Amino acid sequence: MADTQRDDLQAASSPADTSTADTRAAAARAAEASAEAVTAADMSGESSHAPASEPTPPPLNEPTAVAEPTVETSTTVPALGGGATPTGDGDGGEWNLLVEKLQQWWRSGELQSLWQQAKTPLTLGLALITVLMVLRVYAGLLSAINSLPLVPGLLELVGVIWGVRYGLPKLIRRSERERLLDGLQQRWRSFRGQD
């Protein structure tokens, strides 16, 4: 085959052959022979020792077909095969992967250690925010009650009646007064941590 290829190449490049059609036919035969030689050598596992042939130029007068570029409007991605997701159900897997990662993070104990590190500042911050919110609600409630007619005066009267009815007897008798003062002092010591 190598001899046939060389002969075709020599025939294609000889000065005696000046016709364009003959040159094209010879070039096509040479290309076919070269391709057959390469595939035969590849199949048999041998390498071709034929001299390298020069590439043949494409025909000058033949129009070439140009494929128009196309743009794909959507892309479909096939689902993974069975058992490719962490749960093994083969239904896609972004949600299952997220759930698996969150469970793994929870089991690792990082959340608990993070909570222990931020426990004191976080608790103080939340307590401060809670106290501020309760005071705002309480101030709003008192201002709403204060804007109602007769209610502030009635509440003041109720406070005076309660103080006289329940507070005055504890302050008049000595035993009740000492018990009240002892209870207040005990609460103050307990609050200060001296108990």
Express each pLDDT in 51-83 by its tens digit. 556 666 665 665 566 677 777 777 777 766 555
Mean pLDDT of 3-17: 50
Q: What pLDDT sits at residue 194?
A: 79
At residue 94, what is the residue type? E
* Residue 39 belongs to a domain: yes
Q: What is the pLDDT of residue 14?
A: 47
CA distance 1 to 36: 9
Structural domain includes residue 50: no
Residue 129: give the domain boundaries: 117-147
pTM for the model stands at 0.29
Is 52:37 a contact under the CB 8 Å cutoff?
Answer: no
Return the closest-CA partner of residue 4 out of 25, 28, 34, 45: 34
Q: How far apart are CA 195 and CA 191, in angstroms?
A: 8
95 located within any domain: no
In a domain? residue 193: yes
Cα angle 92, 97, 103 (rounded to 5 degrees) comes to 150
Neighbouring CB atoms inside 10 A of 97's CB total 13
Note whether 7 and 36 are same-domain residues: yes
The yes-or-no verdict on residue 133 having pLDDT over 90 is yes
Question: Do 9 and 25 share a domain, yes or no?
Answer: yes
Q: Does residue 27 lie within any of the structural domains?
A: yes
For residue 177, give the DSSP letter.
H
Establish if 61 belongs to a structural domain. no
- CA 133 to CA 130: how far, in whole Å? 5
Same domain, 141 and 163: no
Q: How far apart are CA 18 and CA 12, in angstroms?
A: 9
Question: Do both 135 and 161 map to the same domain?
Answer: no
Structural domain contains residue 157: yes
Q: Is residue 102 part of a domain?
A: no
Number of domains the chain is built from: 3
